[in-house]
Amino acid sequence: MSVFHRQSGTAALIAIAITTSSISPMFSVTPATAQIFRSQIRNLSIPAGVKFPVTYEKDKIVVTPDETIPLTVNIARNIIDRNGNVLIPQGSQLVGQLEPATKDSKKGSQFVARELVFPNGNRQNIDATSSVITRKEKISKGTDTSKILQDAAIGAGAASVIGLITDRRIRLIEPVLGAGAGAAASVLLRKKKVEVVVVKPQSGDLDVTLRSDLQLSQY
């Protein structure tokens, strides 16, 4: 039984035990530890609870606590077995969305991954989530937003909030539903300052943990 962990090298390791009998594969999981068993027909399952490190092209993502945006991140390192076989290649994509979530009664954001896309174009469903990010910054008239927005991707709602309060035009992350901008403008009619959630992918904010077993159909 070996531990899946973040490494400083080029690969993240998931150790697997290979069954040599014809019995159907089974697995067991303890906290931070995963065993993965293969059958003779080479079906492979990574169990719930395993964590995948990811990367994103920007240092930060800034959204309002109430908005949802589409988001695609990359697997940071090869996920391999103890024999060096690559299970999930580095650069594979996790497609999902950053959506509102709550932790300890604090509003924040959480990345929910719904699809795994391999470099060869193969796709399959995945059920994985990041932790809830509750890190926030307050924005009000006169606030210097340069540090907050430096190398940041901005959601439409956050862009509207910051733009209307500071008179600064904000470059959006990627097209999203217009409801985010409308909601932000409505908030500004009632408030002179707002809070935005600041997600830091390079600090592991978007690393995801499997909520259910992942059957690797391409293996």
Please state the separation of Cα 54 from the chain's center in Å: 7
Position with higher pLDDT, 142 vs 186? 142
* Domain count along the chain: 1
Alpha-carbon span 13 to 6, nearest angstrom:
8
pLDDT of 43: 64
Q: What is the H or E stretch that residue 27 is in?
A: none
User: Does the residue 127 lie in any domain?
Assistant: no
- Res. 193: pLDDT tops 80: no
**Quick check: 102 and 109 in contact, CB under 8 A?**
no
Maximum mean pLDDT: which of 4-13, 38-47, 176-185: 38-47
pLDDT digits (tens, 9 = 90+) for 31-66: 333 444 444 335 688 889 999 999 999 999 999 999
User: Does the residue 150 lie in any domain?
Assistant: yes
User: Does the residue 84 lie in any domain?
Assistant: no
Q: Range of 176's domain? A: 136-199
User: Does the residue 111 lie in any domain?
Assistant: no
Position with higher pLDDT, 45 vs 17? 45
User: Does the residue 153 lie in any domain?
Assistant: yes
User: Does the residue 206 lie in any domain?
Assistant: no
User: Does the residue 207 lie in any domain?
Assistant: no
**Quick check: 176 and 156 in contact, CB under 8 A?**
yes
pTM for this predicted structure: 0.74
User: Does the residue 71 lie in any domain?
Assistant: no
Alpha-carbon span 21 to 63, nearest angstrom:
51
pLDDT digits (tens, 9 = 90+) for 127-143: 999 999 999 988 877 77
